[in-house]
Amino acid sequence: MKIGLKRTLLPFLGLSLLLLSFSNFVVAEEPIVLRYAHMNPPTSVAGQQATMLAKLVEEKTKGRVKIQVYPSSQLGGLQEQAEMVSVGTVAIHHNTMAGIGSLYGDFAALDTPYLYKDVAHLMRVTNPWTSPLMKTLNQKLIQTRNVRVFYTFFFGTRQLTCDRPIYSPNDLKGVKIRAIPFPIYTATVQAMGAVAVPLDFAEVPTALATGAINGQEHPPDTILTAKL
């Protein structure tokens, strides 16, 4: 799939990474219960993969390991959830590359817009088990934050929605667009000519409804399931 430029502002590829904490694994006779926190609605693609993981883990371990999923930012914002995995209060969390960059900064570079030729290229670069780059970054993440990236998944190209027609960056001048609250996303929105408004995902629906922001950008599935 080629990334089209026409009428698509910020069409960089939506990628989430599953973070796994080492702090939660102990030998016990009782079932091990792990908490999985994320920001997406349970009906979204990202939310459904979390549910699927929990089901498969319980099946494959014959009930010895159970995963409790907390969707829709129930346990905190993007930054808070990432930190929870690092300290071990949450075992599993998915986030963007820039979100993981809040734990180890070099990860954020992998969320650079227009970096990948297509989805196959994206997945080759970001596969934690086969990509030499990801192996190196993962080792640094383990050493510094006691966390590893377990797997990556793709959930669509990021699309802009706005309260006015946007056909080119010129149309974004002075327009307030929500940015994921990490530097590379804020810089991207600003580079397009818009006013970047950093907001956690949970705040976006209210900000749109009240006019605090004029638009936002997410993959189509996220836009639809979060009713943005």
Q: Are residues 122 and 16 in contact, defined by beta-carbon separation less than 8 angstroms?
A: no
Tell me the domain boundaries of the chain.
13-155, 159-225
| Residues 12-34, mean pLDDT to the nearest whole number | 67
Say which CATH topology domain 13-155 has.
D-Maltodextrin-Binding Protein; domain 2 (3.40.190)
pLDDT at 25: 55
pLDDT of 1 over the 50 cut: no
- Whether residue 91 has pLDDT greater than 70: yes
Query: What single-letter amino acid sits at 166?
Result: I
Q: Which two tokens stand for residue 81?
A: 């959830």
Task: Check if the beta carbon of residue 175 is closer than 8 Å to that of residue 194.
Answer: yes
CA angle 143–137–42, rounded 5-degree value? 95
Tracing tokens 């590829």 back to the chain, one arrives at 13
Dihedral sign, Cα of residue 155, residue 183, residue 76, residue 162: negative
* End-to-end Cα spacing for the chain: 25
The answer to pTM > 0.85 is no
Distance of alpha carbon 60 from alpha carbon 6, whole angstroms = 45
Write the CATH number of the domain with boundaries 159-225: 3.40.190.10
Q: Check if 13-155 and 159-225 are the same fold.
A: yes
Counting every residue written for the chain, the total comes to 228
**Cross-sheet strand order for the sheet of 159-162:** 159-162, 215-218, 176-179, 195-198
Percentage of the residues of the chain whose pLDDT score is greater than 70: 89
